[in-house]
Amino acid sequence: MSLLGPNLILAGPGTGKTTFLINKTVEIFRSVKAKNDGIIICTFTKKSTEELTTRLYSKLEVKAINKVNFIIGTIHSICFDLLARYSEKDYGDYQILSEESQVQFIHSKLKNLGYSSDRIKKNGWTLSEELATIYNKINDEKIDYSNLDFKDDIELEEACHTYPTYRRLLERNRLLDFASIQSTFLKELKEPSGFKEKIIADFKYYLVDEYQDVNNLQNEIFITLSKPYFNLTIVGDDDQSIYGFRGSSVDHIKNFDTELKTNGKNVKIDILNTNYRSTESIVEYSNTLLEKMAYKRIEKGIKANRVGYSHPVVIREFQTEDDEGKYVAKSIHDLIANNVIKSFSHVAILFRSLKGHSEGVISALNSSNIPYKLVGAGNFFDSLIGKEFLALLDYYLAKDIDNTQIFFDNLSQIDVSTNSDLTSFYSQGDYLQQLENIFNKKNYKSCIDLTYDLFIGTEFLNRHAAEGPNLGKITDIVLKFDDFSDRFDPWGLYSYFNYLKKSNYVDYIDVSNIDAVNMFTIHQSKGLEFPVVFMPSQIERNIRTSFVDRLNKLAKGNIDDTDEDGRVLYVGCTRAEDLLIISGSKTLSKTSKEYSFNSLIKAVNQNIKTTTDLDFKKLKKHKLRNSDSFQKQNTVLSYNKISLYNYCPRAFMYAHIWNLQTVRIAGLEFGRNIHKIIEIILRNVHENVPVNNIEIDELIDNNWKNTNFKKDDENEKLKMAAKKQINTFIDKCKNYLESTKVFSVEDQFNITVFDNMITGRFDAVFQDDSSYTIIDFKTGDKRDYTSQLSFYNLCFKEKYNPNKDIKLAVYYMKEGALDFINPNKEKEELEIINNVSKAISHNEFIASPGKVCKDCSFKNICEYSV
């Protein structure tokens, strides 16, 4: 296996791509000699990062991984991490905007972008979403809109010309969206500041998964970063490039060999072409799909490992959408009845889009009492919990009119649509009066505060406890809304919720453990596999032109996306292990128009044997490949999680199972500011900047983040306190503040204990000739931190296998005191981790009421609080 130089791994579906990537990474780890022969692995999603990390740590000892510099993550997280570590600019204190937060930020700045109040009121949220896609497109593809002929598209021209203002607003607020993280990183790579040189001094190997999905900007990043040695391994499949609508270009993987040759490098090409997943019939059908597509592709010669009898692919066309749905439901019922499959979870139903494509199938599954789980349907506000919360928020907003009548009108509609009886519940209790009593006592500063009062006044959390993560989803949406509001704005929140409802952007989280059919979009199914796959609604439909499509057309001309549609179909087919059923209907329930069957499927049917019926006699003799395989989900723990569980398992459940978000507490924000500023100071010292040369007060002024909803004078007092504490720290700990003594700052660790991933960060580690000193910074009052520092002692040993003594200390910012701590026995710490891990896996979340309740973030909502 070649470790040096450029390597293209072309991996067809089911050919063991992830295993190959893991094996190559293991070989690199085993071959490297020096810590600065570092490795960076870039994944496409957070889920892929977690999977690769878990599998990698199961193959190698922690000590082998930690002997070299190592980063694994998405392109956005890697770019940000490297900017924070190596740039002379202080990117470490910037906040990253997720895709959802980007829309919220833009909405909060629409007036700054030049949009009128009337326009904002009419469709502000939709406009914000459209602007986000335009800004990302301009950034990712380096579109020079100044030279475009917009003709009569005034709306698009106006949007493009707001882009510079948007970038200035990001900078002013010390924010980076996903697109600007990448463009900023590339800009730094190209500048003669030594940024790239610092990175390549620590990292030698670069591996990138799913390369068929990179965009122009990302491709340039990887080429620039790996130059001149190009120890760059890319993994992917041009036939599975399905994210063109997001700006990805299949040309980058297709032209990788040519591009590297222009840089004087020959590319080693590995082709993985044995499909271990699907039967011979499915592989043959999928290959024929590719042959019928017009685009220039890389031939991989995919062949099936599972040869012998296999059921032909089933192709069915129906007159109506209802007929198609009934067929899908009956087929699933018959597969279970004939013992072909033992579980509904062995079935996946994949759609091009759930919205407008899945109604007939969902109706038939409901009628047949077949359980199913929807992913990507945006159905949160179709659920009882989503509808009831909106009704309660509406009740609060309508307090100056007949809000009781409006509320009960809403409840009656909810009862009909969800088969509930909220009307009786609220009629028989005094919940509305309780809400009024709460409202009359409160002067709200945030929407999250109002949200918890709505919960408390109506026993909302107790009544919906069985679906806790959906409660967490509500609080997450509200808190993120608050983050970009400079005032208490319940009307804006209600508007945002209705935008999310209309746009179908928020999924209801199915927390039931019932055996159920899986329903996804094809894009969401990528990387998954199922014994039986249905692909309904395969008909020719008109594609709507979006705002960003109009920009794409102006910048690039007319683009034929037929090839990508074909690749989406191919990806769907290749999710099937044993049985593939494709169907479509001539008519849909919501329109009188008649539709044609998918033309690509028609073309394939002329060249390959398919069937219209299931042969149950033969299917019963066919052993499913994956029928009895279940993947164990390992627990990811940190000290904070372990500590919280030991204080109160119920609080742990609220925070980490339900994911309830709480009001931003000024003390927590103060602590974040302190840690952030100390990190910047220590990184400067580590980079040979004498601490006496750092303008501390100016640094604090430039990097301080005020607490939302606090008055200016209150925030100023907090900042002045921080200046005093940080200057005291520098005075008291001056002997540590030398470049050679700063070993690491905000140093992340991942270790494995009892098959659980343990993750966290050391605030700061210092060194001298005889020892390492781990210091944790605390902004609160003094208390016993022996357990936490003992935990860090264990993790530091696992990560670095040090040959010097380890000292443990806590620096108390308020007192200006450095206290050293003797650790507990390692056996005790391991036992604690093991006990907590087992309890969490067994869903043991019994409350431990007592003194801890006083400081608990959830004391107002917990029925056990004392």
Same domain for 613 and 653, yes or no, is no
Task: Measure the CA–CA gap between 100 and 102, rounded to whole angstroms.
Answer: 5
> Within a domain: residue 160?
yes
> Within a domain: residue 849?
no
Same domain for 375 and 440, yes or no, is no
> Within a domain: residue 1?
no
Residue 366's CATH number: 3.40.50.300
Positions of E strands within 85-165: 95-97
pLDDT band, residue 630 (cuts 50/70/90)? very low
> Nearest 10 degrees: CA dihedral of 34, 39, 745, 703?
140
733: pLDDT strictly greater than 90:
yes
815: pLDDT strictly greater than 80:
yes
pLDDT band, residue 713 (cuts 50/70/90)? confident
> Within a domain: residue 820?
yes
* Low-confidence winner among 113-127, 166-180, 652-666, 698-712 (lowest mean pLDDT): 698-712
629: pLDDT strictly greater than 50:
no
pTM for the model: 0.87
Same domain for 473 and 616, yes or no, is no
Same domain for 73 and 101, yes or no, is no
193: pLDDT strictly greater than 50:
yes
Helix (H) or strand (E) holding 493: helix 490-503
Helix count (H) and strand count (E) of the chain?
Answer: 36, 22
DSSP string for residues in 626-646: STT-----PPEE-HHHHHHHH
> Within a domain: residue 850?
no
581: pLDDT strictly greater than 80:
yes
Task: Measure the CA–CA gap between 112 and 109, rounded to whole angstroms.
Answer: 5
* Low-confidence winner among 207-216, 551-560, 637-646 (lowest mean pLDDT): 551-560
522: pLDDT strictly greater than 50:
yes
- pLDDT for 667 equals 60
Same domain for 164 and 206, yes or no, is no
Mean pLDDT (the chain, rounded) = 91
Convert the pLDDT of each residue in 31-73 to its tens digit. Answer: 998 999 999 999 988 888 988 988 898 888 888 888 899 999 9
Give the pLDDT mean for 715-734.
93
% of the chain residues with pLDDT over 90: 68
Burial 736-767 (b: 16+ CB within 10 A, else e): bbeeeebbbbbbebbbbbeebbbbbbbbbbbb
Enter the tokens of residue 406. Answer: 């409006």
- pLDDT for 611 equals 93
Peptide bond into 228 cis (omega under 30): yes
pLDDT band, residue 560 (cuts 50/70/90)? low
- 329 against 94, higher pLDDT: 329
Residue 717's CATH number: 3.90.320
Enter the tokens of residue 318. Answer: 């129906």
Helix H, strand E, coil C: the string for 357-412 is CCHHHHHHHHHCCCCEEECCCCCHHHCHHHHHHHHHHHHHHCCCCCHHHHHHHHHH
Residue corresponding to tokens 């696992």 = 798
Q: Which residues contact 524 (CB under 8 A, 6 or more apart)?
A: 375, 376
Domain encompassing residue 647: 639-841
- pLDDT for 703 equals 81
Same domain for 715 and 782, yes or no, is yes
| Chain CA centroid to CA 419, Å | 33
Convert the pLDDT of each residue in 73-83 to its tens digit. Answer: 999 999 999 99
> Within a domain: residue 551?
yes
Same domain for 129 and 158, yes or no, is yes
Same domain for 125 and 226, yes or no, is no
pLDDT band, residue 631 (cuts 50/70/90)? very low
Count of domains for the chain: 5
Q: Is the separation of the CB atoms in 242 and 571 below 8 Å?
A: yes
607: pLDDT strictly greater than 90:
no
Same domain for 453 and 387, yes or no, is yes
> Within a domain: residue 632?
no
709: pLDDT strictly greater than 70:
no
Q: Which residues contact 42 (CB under 8 A, 6 or more apart)?
A: 72, 73, 74, 75, 78, 206, 207, 208, 209, 222
Give the end of a domain, one of 244, 272, 300.
Answer: 272
Q: How many CB atoms lie within 10 A of CB 290?
A: 18
Same domain for 196 and 88, yes or no, is yes
Helix (H) or strand (E) holding 775: strand 771-778
Give the end of a domain, one of 173, 201, 225.
Answer: 173
- 124 against 94, higher pLDDT: 124
> Within a domain: residue 112?
yes
Task: Measure the CA–CA gap between 435 and 395, rounded to whole angstroms.
Answer: 10
Same domain for 491 and 590, yes or no, is no
- 142 against 23, higher pLDDT: 23
Residue of 795, 794, 783 whose CA lies nearest to 823: 794
Residue of 543, 573, 548, 575 whose CA lies nearest to 561: 543
Q: How many CB atoms lie within 10 A of CB 552?
A: 21
682: pLDDT strictly greater than 80:
yes
309: pLDDT strictly greater than 90:
no
- pLDDT for 1 equals 64
Phi, psi of 307 (to 5 degrees): -95, 170
Residue of 56, 388, 361, 7 whose CA lies nearest to 208: 7
Give the pLDDT mean for 140-161.
90
274: pLDDT strictly greater than 90:
yes
Residue of 41, 71, 69, 91 whose CA lies nearest to 193: 91
Give the end of a domain, one of 567, 590, 621.
Answer: 621
Same domain for 27 and 70, yes or no, is yes
632: pLDDT strictly greater than 50:
no
Positions of E strands within 445-602: 517-521, 530-535, 576-587
